[in-house]
Amino acid sequence: MSLNIKIDNFEGPFDLLLHLIKKNQMDIYDIKIYDITNQYLKVLENMKEIDLEVTSEFILIAATLLEIKSKMLLPKESNEEGEEEDPREELISKLLEYKKFKMVASYLKEKEENVGTMFSKKPEIIEDNKQEHKDILKDVTIIQLFDLYNELMNNYINKHNKDNILNKEIPLDKFTVEDKIDELSLRVKKESNLYFSKIINECESKIEMVVTFLALLELIRLRTISVVQDGIFSEIYIEGVSLNEGK
């Protein structure tokens, strides 16, 4: 089982660093190493009475900050791609990872506090209606029950839609997207002014309208034709796209 030691409300050196960054309103991706290092070392001075083994991690980060601070004073080195290396990059990466785990730990701690929470419902009196159920058919004759049954059955039968009967055979598609693509391509070449409403009005059924619209969308995707519409629900004008425009 791991031992969790807190020093002045900080659970480790990264927790202290995040506190100093937040306190100084710094961007975690652009840490001012000089200011953070001085403040960090000042906090360590207040930990003289703490066991050396406990503060070893704090001392290690202090040495890391001093190393980064010295590198920041020297000319920056470039990597293989010619980009300047940032001495703070590794420290920033570790801080971001620590911050992520800290948020997860806080979320799990909140869930742990709510474990076992129960929400109860106040008891209520349930009335016994058995006697009422026994008297529901009192003074009802067999003839009346028979008439009621016939009335219910007639209402059920009358609700059946006998006119809408599904065909047992599945008809073949009369219209295909491929055929409509060829048809629209040919019409665009022949007619200078072509409106979509004109094409739709020539369709025999709703399925033909749907297939025609799908063909139109496919031709637009292929950049074979272009469409223009001035506003919502206004007329859609269709025109062909020349080879130069399509490239």
What would the pLDDT profile of 63-75 be if each residue is shown by its tens digit? 888 888 888 877 7
Q: Tens digit of pLDDT for each residue in 73-110?
A: 777 777 677 677 788 888 888 888 888 888 888 888 88
Q: Tens digit of pLDDT for each residue in 2-33?
A: 434 444 456 678 888 888 888 888 888 888 88
Rounded Cα–Cα distance for residues 100 and 107 (Å): 11
Angle separating helix axes 13-23 and 89-113, nearest 10 degrees? 100
Mean pLDDT of 121-141: 71
Domain extents in the chain: 13-77+84-112, 177-246
* Stated pTM of the model: 0.37
The CATH number that domain 177-246 falls under is: 1.10.10.580
Residue with tokens 């076992």: 116
Q: How many percent of the chain have pLDDT more than 70? A: 79
Q: Is the pLDDT of residue 59 over 60?
A: yes
Model pLDDT, residue 32: 86
Mean pLDDT of 173-199: 86
Model pLDDT, residue 156: 86
Model pLDDT, residue 151: 92
Phi and psi at 228, nearest 5°, equal -130, 135
Average pLDDT of the chain, as a whole number? 78
Model pLDDT, residue 169: 61
Q: Is the pLDDT of residue 228 over 80?
A: yes
Phi and psi at 194, nearest 5°, equal -130, 120
Measured CA distances, 28 to 18, 20, 98, 232 (Å)? 8, 10, 12, 48
Model pLDDT, residue 214: 92
What separation, in Å, do the N-terminal and C-terminal C-alpha atoms of the chain show?
67
Q: Is the pLDDT of residue 242 over 80?
A: no
Q: Which amino acid is it at 238?
A: I
Q: Is the pLDDT of residue 239 over 80?
A: yes
